[in-house]
Structure 1
């Protein structure tokens, strides 16, 4: 197998698109020391990053990858054997830099009950910084590049310098929290509960400003007619120059949703290295939804308040299924809801709640649909009241 074809198969395998024959060929190819060296260099060039490695370490990453391959010869499936991998496919001068989270389960869930917002500075420092008080953020070498003040992380302006080192940053917001960050270009990003934002500490001059989102965030992008702003997620890409919009794509949801508040944005499927399709424009008060396995976006007119109310502490439900409401409540209140009354999952509800307790919300829903619930610490159990009567 030629080196180019090997890389092609690795990329297809990471994307979950490799055929059974291609998986078998990859397994055979990876056995030789020569090809192992090629694969390690491939990891370096693509900056394979996982939460298990505190720095980019192609040797450790490769050993882990190889061990997993040998343990799964019958059914090669990276998505199931390395659940927390995140990698950045960077082909300098050839392909766009697009971040992918290929895990099926969100890395934020590992810290579901961790109440601290954390920042990881890749390349600059391997430490995870807990953002719980005002502080100055520095690189490992001691260079000051951001500050935390009044609960907002703000990066120092650089004028889109070509000389500044662009450290990769990974900002994680746990369940039960929201958080604001002002990027080096002045763009404001308001992250919702259970979200992860990956971005550079400084955007390079005359190059697209790129970030990667897992979860949900409201963006207020600083206008720059010379450089676009790209929000990439696992399945979607949103391109803007200066506007306000909301992007939501949690790994446990069935769709990616982009809602435009003002300005103009373009949306398209994120196809990675095969990404050459044009952007579709949406106008204010429109939502572009891309359901899993769908061929294209569905664009509809919406009430934007429903989709951006969360940043002001408002939960708005408009004809929403209880199963979807349950997910939002879990993220918003950092609590686990176990629903043993499955019949209510498909029922739909309406309601606006601001700074209300989760008990008040559930009691309000109960006025329309009879069910019982009890709270035990950080868990709420929902049951069919008829079952309780029988016990």
Structure 2
């Protein structure tokens, strides 16, 4: 990227006027540049960039969008010429090659498998754009942007077969349901839904793993998301659900509107910026930073005092790897953000900068030690 163009793009990041395409270009350039230059970059002037960030932030009492907040952080990392991870003891750094280029593992990609009611499986990354199938008066197609779209063409069809959209580890996908609702699936997740969505007056889906939902408003037909531990009922709103089988707690985070979360013992109404946690009969609600929760949808890992063990579970799902701990402190806390489009080596190098953890790659297995 030429210097004058990069400066223009960075300025757009800083003032919040960058288009989605410009954001993608800058993110890709940053990831590639940080991998190539991380070993030779000098320690950044943190005080200088603290002042620059502060000068760009709104005055007290104003709000700042999540994407703008993260884009400022990304732009600062580009400008200082390093992909350094912002952790609590960021003044400690060591020069270490954790993984050679030949061993490196690429990040996840946009892909999924659609399973039709008749058992037919369609690998969405392997098929051309356009019409894929027709079931119960519903046309299923794939757009050039890689989005799965359902459109109702015949409302007189009584049958309403179930479809399943599944992402493996290292995959993510977006689907537009027949009512116009949008769902983003994170890695290692699945969504089960009727082909025409509406069944007996209710729009009902079943989620395993993690999904971000933007539900089209329809007061006559509530939208229900069922997981193994709870049900979430909405009319039209934006929310995120994390319900991975390997996680003890199911988290529901509300961004807009309101939702009712119910488990076997209790139910609560959430308002924006609240997150419920259900596990068995336990049920709690707290206020959270919602931008951190949906950072995965925007191509970022964001950790706010997150334990090493929790971080590595996210990394495992996105890079399709296995983790083995050898005398590592699983409870060590990290704070910062990393691009999900970086190669695995980029993630691990930045985590290693804390000098409290070391990684060794053996095939698709990561050995974590002190």
Question: Same fold per TM (> 0.5)?
Answer: yes
Contact persistence 1:115–1:175 (CA under 8 A): no
Structure 1 residues 296, 380: closer, same or farther in 2, change over 3 A? closer
Structure 1 residues 116, 205: closer, same or farther in 2, change over 3 A? closer
Contact persistence 1:266–1:280 (CA under 8 A): yes
Report the Cα distance in structure 2 between the residues aligned to 1:114 and 1:358, rounded to whole angstroms: 13
User: How much has 1:127 moved relative to structure 2?
Assistant: 1.3
Partner of 1:120: 115
Contact persistence 2:351–2:357 (CA under 8 A): no
Structure 1 residues 131, 164: closer, same or farther in 2, change over 3 A? farther
- SS of the residue corresponding to residue 312 of structure 2 reads helix
Contact persistence 2:307–2:334 (CA under 8 A): yes
Partner of 2:369: 383
* Match of residue 290, structure 1, among 267, 273, 278: 278
Report the Cα distance in structure 2 between the residues aligned to 1:201 and 1:365, rounded to whole angstroms: 43
Partner of 1:348: 333
Report the Cα distance in structure 1 between the residues aligned to 2:194 and 2:135, rounded to whole angstroms: 16
* Match of residue 360, structure 1, among 346, 354, 359: 346
Contact persistence 1:321–1:346 (CA under 8 A): yes
Report the Cα distance in structure 2 between the residues aligned to 1:341 and 1:181, rounded to whole angstroms: 42
* Match of residue 281, structure 1, among 239, 246, 269: 269
**1:306 counterpart = 2:299:** no
**1:131 counterpart = 2:119:** no
Structure 1 residues 360, 204: closer, same or farther in 2, change over 3 A? closer
Q: Give CA deviations for 1:17-38 in whole Å, capped at 9, x if unaligned.
A: xxxxxxxxxxxxxxxxxxxxxx
Structure 1 residues 325, 205: closer, same or farther in 2, change over 3 A? closer
Q: Which moved more, 1:249-258 or 1:359-368?
A: 359-368
Taking the TM superposition and a 5 Å limit, the aligned residue runs for 1:1-391 are: 117-122=112-117, 125-132=118-125, 133=127, 134-139=129-134, 145-149=139-143, 150-158=145-153, 161=155, 163-204=157-198, 207-269=201-263, 271=264, 279-291=267-279, 293=280, 295-342=281-328, 344-354=329-339, 355-384=341-370
Contact persistence 1:214–1:233 (CA under 8 A): yes
Instruction: Provide TM-score, normalisation by structure 1.
Output: 0.62
Structure 1 residues 158, 299: closer, same or farther in 2, change over 3 A? farther
Contact persistence 2:113–2:121 (CA under 8 A): yes
User: How much has 1:362 moved relative to structure 2?
Assistant: 2.1
Aligned residues: CA RMSD: 2.3
Q: Give CA deviations for 1:125-184 in whole Å, capped at 9, x if unaligned.
A: 22111111324222589x76210112110001358x353531100111011111001111
Contact persistence 1:266–1:282 (CA under 8 A): yes
Report the Cα distance in structure 2 between the residues aligned to 1:260 and 1:116, rounded to whole angstroms: 26
Ranges in structure 1 where 5+ consecutive residues have no aligned partner: 1-112, 272-276, 385-391
Instruction: Provide TM-score, normalisation by structure 2.
Output: 0.65
Structure 1 residues 267, 311: closer, same or farther in 2, change over 3 A? same
Report the Cα distance in structure 1 between the residues aligned to 2:271 and 2:324, rounded to whole angstroms: 39
Contact persistence 1:165–1:202 (CA under 8 A): no
